[in-house]
Amino acid sequence: MRLRRTTTLAASLLAITLTATACGGGDDDSGDGGGGDEIVIGIKFDQPGLGLLTPDGDHVGFDVDVATYIAGELGYEPDQIVFQEAPSPERENLLSRGDVDMIVATYSISEEREESVDFAGPYLLAHQDLLVRADYEVPNEEAINDMTLCSVSGSTSAANVQRDIAPDARLQEFNTYSECLNGLERGRIDALTTDDSILAGYAAQPEHQGKFRLAGLELSNEYYGVGLPKDSEDLDAVNDAITAMVEEGAWDEAVAEHFGPAGYEPEAAPEIGTRPEA
């Protein structure tokens, strides 16, 4: 059973209550020692540098560090965090069904999404770009209309291409970026389009080094937020946690660790409450 703790104080009060019950000789013995207390956080499993499930079962990346820091500020130890995969098309459903407590998964804030979920943050500002083969040239933004692109279903990147960037481009949509990357490597598509932070992670993987490069186009502003259920009581607490991560230097440390090897330098941490221009 999942118990949500919105503040460290609430966690302390809960612990005191449980201890008092135990000392009073209560006969409810769950045997787990921690009351089954955990937080479930949706992340990506296939995004190097951001959210990646390694072969040995570890979760690593910038988003993972952000999620872990937030959980710590809410009173959870690392072993009380359950990471659940959050594919782009399923993020709103995961929150609305209560399958996860929050989502930290390159989740761009948009007016449309804010109709059904709450966003804390943002905690990162990225820009949409193209990942192309190393020998492929994109002379200008207009040329994208003649390309075959791939992105992920339900992503703002796919919507941006069709609506604003290159409405005449041929767009293929898959459930994961890994599928798009496979098509790019095999020459079935001309470019993978999504946020530069995501693309940099793929390009920096040892098996991909030298094969791909970023086109260097800033096609949109993508403000990553922490997705929460609509009307969440945890919104302020999560915003406070992100602020603390930035002020204490942990945000810069995570940026250096996960983006530094790719040569990608994201912009400074955005101000809490910042939103994309309509």
Average of pLDDT values for 238-254?
98
For residue 13, pLDDT over 90 is answered with no
Q: Could you tell me the pLDDT band of residue 244, with boundaries at 50, 70 and 90?
A: very high
Q: How far is CA 8 from CA 71, 73, 121, 183, in A?
A: 10, 7, 20, 46
pTM for this prediction = 0.80
Q: Could you tell me the pLDDT band of residue 264, with boundaries at 50, 70 and 90?
A: confident
Average pLDDT, the chain: 86
The domains located in the chain, with CATH, are 8-12+38-125+223-262 (3.40.190.10), 126-221 (3.40.190.10)
Q: Pick from 194, 230, 242: which is nearest to 114 by CA?
A: 230
Helix (H) or strand (E) holding 36: none
Q: 152 with 180: CB under 8 angstroms? A: yes
| 138: CB partners within 8 A, 6+ apart | 130, 132, 144, 147, 191, 215, 217
Average of pLDDT values for 65-73?
98
Return the beta strands (E) in 209-269 as ranges.
Answer: 212-214, 221-229
pLDDT in tens, 87-110: 989 999 999 999 999 999 999 999
pLDDT at position 100 is 98
Backbone angles phi, psi at 263, to 5 degrees: 75, 15
Q: Could you tell me the pLDDT band of residue 277, with boundaries at 50, 70 and 90?
A: low
pLDDT at position 119 is 98
